[in-house]
Amino acid sequence: MIPDVLDINIVIETFQNRYADITYLDKGGMSFVYKARHIGLNRVVALKILNPENNSDWDLVNRFYQEIKIGATVNHPNILKIHYGDEINGLHFMEMDYLEGETLYQMIQRNGQLDQTNTVKYLKPIVSALSHLHNHGIVHRDIKTANIFIDQHRGAILTDFGISFYINSPVSIPENEIIGTPEYMSPEQASGRKLPDERSDLYGIGVILYEALTGNVPFKGKTTRDTLDQVIFNPPPSLVDYNISISDYIDRMIMRLLSKHEVDRYESAWELYNDLDEIDISKNGNNYSIWRRIKDLFLPEDNNFQLPYFLRIDGYNASDSYIPLYGRSLGNNQISCIVGRSTPDGVVPDVDIQEPTISRQHVEIVFIKGQLGVRHLYSNNSSYLNGVTLEAGIIYSFEVGDWLTMGGLRFELIQGR
């Protein structure tokens, strides 16, 4: 039944020039959600309409439009896309992607708890989405299972930016403002001792992991105040009391995320993503090691791209000891850079090092999905990364400051000069 405060006939009449086939879906804390078909584009969308009873609350209205701004400007496959927002005849609305499925909260309620494989499968893309938000200076501030939607076609989608904010926004946000869902608040949010930052969002991920694997949030009091006090002062109950199959690795990860002091948590969402990736690797037998991200690198579709890195020959100070890394685009944001020694028979690597102990195709430096790695190729002479022998065919993480040994030379990876 449609709530009395917002009649479906009013909605249909208000939006008839833009949308058709409007049907009621759900009610949130401040808004109503409808399914509709965009007439001009002939696509199915969701309409989120602010409850008119809130129109006089300028703080809520401003937050509504802040959500529109954030959802319309960020672009990530696991973030709910907001296409448009406006006000018509006193109804503030936003047009969003239409999702089919259920929230992670509903899934946990239905199943009791999830296994570790599915938990990681759903959380990895959400952590990637968080990393994208944080790189744009946005803190979500309401990370919880009810704001993660498991779409039948797209997987896990992060939603609801109603209380999100830009870290460097000129709009003042009170440091002692306590807002959000108590069970998922970080201690600094619950106490109001500081403005939440990226690490507060990561605390929320820790609560979600805990809830997915045990069926319970770590802190739940009889009153809101009791819950907040537990968040601030109490250590989280042991996960294995609820689920003995939880690995030590993910147990330590969750306890780190739930640290009372933000400095003890993960430094970034990308660091957490790498650790979740390692769980996938150990589970699936994948030989790929943890990679690090290269930030702000946009790849042209050509075959002569210079990575923003150099190999510095150890023991040499001349300018020609800094070897630029050139690679070939493989499409899909991938680059391959073969390092070796060109020979008269026509073998020409991407990076030519004329040293007799370096083979024609000695190593490959790869850039895939924003991450840098290195692997040994076809040389009979071994390759070493920080003194460790590279096993042929396996991609190893490669980052600034690492030492790569090929033949009789040792190279340091350095940032572009």
Given 26, 59, 86, 142, which residue is catalytic? 142
Residue whose pair of structure tokens reads 């090929």 in the numeric block: 406
* Collapsed DSSP state (helix, strand, coil) of residue 330: strand
Q: Do the Cβ atoms of 212 and 122 come closer than 8 Å?
A: yes
Which residues touch 161 (CB under 8 Å, ≥6 apart)? 66, 67, 70, 71, 138, 140
* Collapsed DSSP state (helix, strand, coil) of residue 395: coil
* Collapsed DSSP state (helix, strand, coil) of residue 262: helix
State the Cα–Cα distance between residues 316 and 200, nearest whole angstrom.
45
Q: Do the Cβ atoms of 365 and 374 come closer than 8 Å?
A: yes
Which residues touch 18 (CB under 8 Å, ≥6 apart)? 38, 39, 40
Written in H, E and C, the secondary structure of 267-314 is CCHHHHHHHHHHHHHHHHCCCCCCCEECCCCCCCCCCCEEEEEEEEEC
Residue whose pair of structure tokens reads 């909605």 in the numeric block: 11
Retrieve residue 253's tokens.
């990860």
* Collapsed DSSP state (helix, strand, coil) of residue 327: strand
Quickly count: other Cβ atoms within 10 Å of residue 72's Cβ.
Answer: 16
Residue 251 annotated to the active site: no
Torsions phi, psi for 73 (to 5 deg)? -95, -30
State the Cα–Cα distance between residues 74 and 277, nearest whole angstrom.
24
Which residues touch 349 (CB under 8 Å, ≥6 apart)? 338, 339, 340, 341, 342, 360, 361, 362
Closest residue by Cα to residue 49 from 22, 31, 70, 30: 31
Known catalytic residues? Answer: 142
